[in-house]
Amino acid sequence: MSLVFAGACSHAPGITGRAQLADVSLKDPLHAQMRRLGESMREARPDALIVIAAEHFANFFMNNMPAYAIGMADHYEGPIEDPAWLGIEKTRVPGNAALSQRIIKSVMNDVDVAFAEEWKFDHGIMVPLHFLTPAFDLPVIPVNINCQGPPLTPLARAWAFGEALRRACDAMPERIALVGSGGISHWPATPDSGKINEPWDREFLARWQRNDRAALLDYTDEATYHDAGQGGFEIRTFISVAAAARGPGHVRFYAPIPIFSVGCTVGTMGIA
């Protein structure tokens, strides 16, 4: 049928793993909005969910690092992390290899994407799924953009990748939901963990809400690293969602939550 839903949310492992350390007046609304994002998605009656993630060396390493990868399996496993540490039990998540294959073939007309018949989810996908599909009952098609091991794909290519995903979704008979997951400014997994550049985040989200291609692509990795940390490289996931959805974004929730190491964000995007 087409793309029937587009959204974005944070995936920081602390959101589930360190929930008990957070201020409940911030944590509870965030969790509620993430669950609501899942309800909105299910109201669109999707047959499958594409998650555009920025994984953290759960599958892809510097021996053979794809800029873009799409999963092509009938099931996936996750999380790779210690379940007690992440606050999410190990589980099997359904996929749809046949649908993946058709999407990949379509995307390949525009972007040379890698495919993977084996894929273990880390917090980058498991934390969103924990809220979006708590029963892990919706087939998921994982997508990864390398935001960890430079050299990284240029932002303009992340846009082109989103456009290619949109063309692919529109060519499928299935109803497909798309959710991107990344951090905005953050310095995770360093002693700076908890540092958040709120003005930078709000400016980026304003550009995302306008779905302003030129403004969204007007960042260099050097400036992003300086202003938004190495975690800021994950804006690529937001950019791909914007290119795929084409409509204006709506940020439903944003709050810097230092113990979660990121400005926690939940948003939807109009499909135009």
- Tell me if 51 sits within 8 A of 141, measured CB to CB: yes
Count of residues touching other proteins (by CB under 8 A): 36
Interface pick for other proteins out of 41, 58, 116, 255 (rule CB under 8 A):
58
The least CB distance from residue 237 to other proteins, in Å, is 15
Interface pick for other proteins out of 16, 100, 230, 265 (rule CB under 8 A):
230
Check residue 75 for interaction with other proteins (CB under 8 A).
no
Interface pick for other proteins out of 11, 18, 31, 130 (rule CB under 8 A):
18
Query: How far is it, in rounded angstroms, from Cα 162 to Cα 159?
Result: 5
Query: How far is it, in rounded angstroms, from Cα 164 to Cα 201?
Result: 26
Interface pick for other proteins out of 16, 185, 261, 265 (rule CB under 8 A):
261
Q: Which is nearer to other proteins, 96 or 261 (CB)?
A: 261
Check residue 237 for interaction with other proteins (CB under 8 A).
no
- Tell me if 179 sits within 8 A of 51, measured CB to CB: yes
Residues 90 to 149 in contact with other proteins, rule: CB under 8 A: 120, 122, 148-149
Q: Which is nearer to other proteins, 7 or 14 (CB)?
A: 14
Check residue 223 for interaction with other proteins (CB under 8 A).
no
Residues 187 to 206 in contact with other proteins, rule: CB under 8 A: 187-195
Check residue 236 for interaction with other proteins (CB under 8 A).
no
Q: Which is nearer to other proteins, 134 or 150 (CB)?
A: 150
- Tell me if 178 sits within 8 A of 245, measured CB to CB: yes
Contacts to other proteins by CB under 8 A: 13-14, 18, 21, 56-59, 61-63, 80-82, 85-86, 120, 122, 148-150, 187-195, 225, 229-230, 258-259, 261
